[in-house]
Chains A and B, each alone.
Chain A
Amino acid sequence: EVHLLDSGGGLVQPGGSLRLSCAASGFTFSVYGMTWVRQAPGKGLEWVSSISGDGDSTYYADSVKGRFTISRDNSKNTVYLQMNNLRVEDTAVYYCAKDNKWEPPGYFEYWGQGTLVTVSS
């Protein structure tokens, strides 16, 4: 059974940093792309970033480009989202999701439970 466990959220001041993690199990991790999607309070879903199965290809939304970095460690079955220079508007629940194929874009059959990031002074 596929499980995605996202963690690392919390309260951070504007300009601060956080690193989110998503630990995967139940499938051959290195064969699938992975994605981060966020949802601000009361708002819709926003795609944030995706990474290919081998980590060689990465993609970012314009709203986070240059501030966020997606990476993966296939030996640990974990994908990360390093978030720097955080802004108030980055406040959201962040979900990791498993792509249906090696190279994004794909669709997302499995999702983590979400981790809340709050950026506030």
Chain B
Amino acid sequence: DVQMTQSPSSLSASVGDRVTITCRASQDIGKSLAWYQQKPGKPPKLLLSVASRLNTGVPSRFSGSGSGTDFTLTISSLQPEDFATYYCQQQYSIPPQTFGQGTKVDIK
């Protein structure tokens, strides 16, 4: 099974801050990684796929990088609507198709 480990589990930041979230896979998954944003009471929203491809309509302040086992989601300038929980998900192997445990971004 491919395990996904996200860090940090939570962070506090201010509007305008640069925020970085990391995701580590337990084995080489190439670029088979997606990032999601979830707000309370809502389904997840796809931000990026294949590690760095921005989904349609997602602001360019979101970017992704990495390959193999180490991946990063960066928000270049945090906006009020970005306070949410972020998840990575590997799409390399199944079963299982694992998510990271999530990173909650809240207001400092």
Smallest CB separation, B88 vs chain A (Å) = 10
Interface of chain A: mostly helix, strand, loop or mixed: strand
Query: Quick check: A114 and B43 within 8 Å, CB to CB?
Result: yes
Contact string, A34-57, partner B, CB cutoff 8 A, digits 1/0? 010100000011110010000000
| Residue B68 at the chain A interface, CB threshold 8 Å | no
What is the size category of the interface that chain A forms with chain B? 20 to 34
Contact A104 B94, beta carbon cutoff 8 Å: yes
With beta carbons under 8 angstroms apart, the residue of B34, B44, B91 that contacts A111 is: B44
Interface residues on B, range: 20 to 34
- Say yes or no: B44 contacts A50, CB within 8 Å: no
Q: Which of B14-22, B59-67, B71-79, B98-106 contacts A (4 or more CB under 8 A)?
A: B98-106
- Cα–Cα distance between A107 and B102 once the two chains are bound (Å): 16
Q: Which residues of B contact A107 (CB under 8 A)?
A: 34, 46, 49, 89, 91
B43 touches A95 (CB 8 A): yes
Beyond A44-B87, A45-B87, A109-B55, whether A104 also contacts B97 by CB under 8 A is yes
Per-residue A-contact encoding for B24-56, CB less than 8 Å = 1, 0 else? 000000001010101000011110010000010
Instruction: Verify if B93 is at the interface (C-beta below 8 Å from A).
Output: yes
Cα distance A53–B52 when bound, in Å?
26
Cβ of B8 within 8 Å of any chain A Cβ, yes or no, is no
B97 touches A35 (CB 8 A): yes
Residues of B within 8 A of A104 (CB): 94, 97
| A102 contacts chain B at the CB level, 8 A cutoff | no
- Tell me the minimal C-beta distance from B87 to chain A in angstroms: 6
Residue pair B91, A45 in contact (C-beta under 8 Å): no
A-chain residues with CB within 8 Å of residue B80 when the two chains form the complex: none
Q: What 0/1 pattern do residues 5 to 30 of A give for CB contact below 8 A with B? A: 00000000000000000000000000
With A59-B94, A60-B95, A105-B92 known, 16 other A-B pairs at CB within 8 A are: A44-B85, A44-B99, A44-B100, A47-B96, A47-B97, A47-B99, A50-B97, A59-B95, A59-B97, A105-B90, A105-B94, A106-B91, A107-B49, A108-B46, A108-B89, A114-B43
